[in-house]
Structure formats: C-alpha cells, structure tokens
Chain A
Amino acid sequence: GIQVEQSPPDLILQEGANSTLRCNFSDSVNNLQWFHQNPWGQLINLFYIPSGTKQNGRLSATTVATERYSLLYISSSQTTDSGVYFCAGGGGYNKLIFGAGTRLAVHP
C-alpha cells in the first residue's frame, strides 16, 4: 500500500516564526489533504490539495503531484497553531492513509 512520510516529526517554534512541513508519498495520490489535530483530538481539514497551491490566511500548501510530495507553510506562527499536522491521501476514494504527523509546539 501507499506509504506516507512526514517531516520533521517534531518542531518547536517561537511565536512569529515561519515553518515548512513536508509530506512524501510512495505513489501517486489524487486526494491529498492536510489536517490539524488540536490538543483535544479534533481533526480540522486544512486543505484538499491534490495538486497546485492554495492559501488560507497564514497557511498555504503546495503539492507537486508529479514528484509525489506536498508542503504546508505556516507563516507568523501563533501559539494556537500548536498541535499535530497530518497529511493524508491515497487508499482509494475518500479512504485516507495518514502520515505519522508533525508535532508542532509554538512558544510565546
């Protein structure tokens, strides 16, 4: 099956800093998504981005489908950005295979 690798596994930032999270897929996916899981476990869908670039406020994502990777950019990080960021995709129609996640801690 598809393998999803995320990097870095852990990230500590000072408030206001920028960061880039990466997601690599072992095979092509057509339903790549990024999620944020808050400390209470709630998963929030950030982007559905099988290809191209999207932006939503301080967050943006770029997927290069031909090279099987996606990047999530967080600019001017805030403490509320803390949590775990997952990318997921593949596995068939709407059946998501999740990466191991990037644990982000933003300190004031």
Chain B
Amino acid sequence: GAVVSQHPSRVICKSGTSVKIECRSLDFQATTMFWYRQFPKQSLMLMATSNEGSKATYEQGVEKDKFLINHASLTLSTLTVTSAHPEDSSFYICSARERGDSGNTIYFGEGSWLTVV
C-alpha cells in the first residue's frame, strides 16, 4: 500500500534556530499534502495545505512566515519551522493522497517530534 514517510522522526533544536521536516510519498505521487500539528494529549490541527508547484494555503492563525512550506516535487513536501521557540515543540504530521486515485484514502506519515530547548 501507499506509504508516506517523514524525516526526522525526532529532532531537538535550540531556540532561535530553524528546523526542516520532510514528508515523502514513497510509492505514489501526491499533488497535495497536508501538514498537521498535535500538542500532547490534544487533537490534530490542520496547519496548511501544500500544493505541488504553487504556494501553500495556510489555516487561519498559522503564521506562514514562521512555518515555511515547500512542495517542490510530486513526492516531497517540506515544513521549515523558522526561529523556533519552546512553544513550537509539538508533534508534526503530514498526510497525502495519491494523485489520480479515485478512492478517498488519506495516508499519514509517522510524524515528527520537535523539541525546542
């Protein structure tokens, strides 16, 4: 079945630095990927929709200059947390749907734990 992979699975960075998280569709092409954030014991909150070859669409309240999203190819979307602060520490998950798939299965990555110290 379709697989979505995220890297790194865990990352610790210093406050003020930037960190990049990758989301790859391993065996299918995805024109659209989604980035979610999940704080401990809370639900998943959609941050943005990543569109291949165009700008990402951000949800209300999400700072696009802080969370940079690049979807340069049909198999890769990246989320860069810029000038990270401890309050950005969270679990970040991406999801993708296979291009041209007439079904409705959404595949999620394994998630990336970000800790900002």
List residues of chain A with CB under 8 Å of any chain B CB.
31, 33, 35, 40-43, 45, 48, 86, 88, 91, 94-101, 103
Contacts and interface: CB of A to CB of B under 8 A. Distances in A.
Interface in B64-80: none
Interface residues of B, number: 24
B49 A41 contact: no
A48 B46 contact: no
Contacts of A96: 34, 44, 46, 95, 106
Contacts of A48: 103-105
A41 B46 contact: no
B93 interface: yes
Contacts, number: 53
Given A48-B105, A94-B97, A96-B106, A41 B43 contact: no
A91 B107 CA distance: 17
Given A91-B46, A94-B34, A100-B43, A43 B105 contact: no
A7 B28 CA distance: 35
Given A42-B108, A43-B111, 18 more contacts: A33-B104, A35-B108, A41-B38, A41-B93, A41-B110, A42-B110, A43-B44, A45-B105, A45-B108, A86-B43, A94-B104, A95-B49, A96-B34, A96-B44, A98-B43, A98-B45, A99-B43, A101-B43
Contacts of A42: 108, 110-111
Contacts of B49: 95
Given A94-B32, A94-B97, A33 B106 contact: yes
B93 A43 contact: yes
For the complex of A and B, the 10 pairs showing the least CB-CB separation, nearest first, are A43-B108, A41-B111, A98-B44, A98-B43, A100-B43, A94-B97, A48-B104, A101-B43, A42-B110, A41-B91
Nearest to A103: B41
B42 interface: yes
Contacts of B38: 41
A52 B34 CA distance: 27
A86 B111 contact: no
Contacts of A40: 110
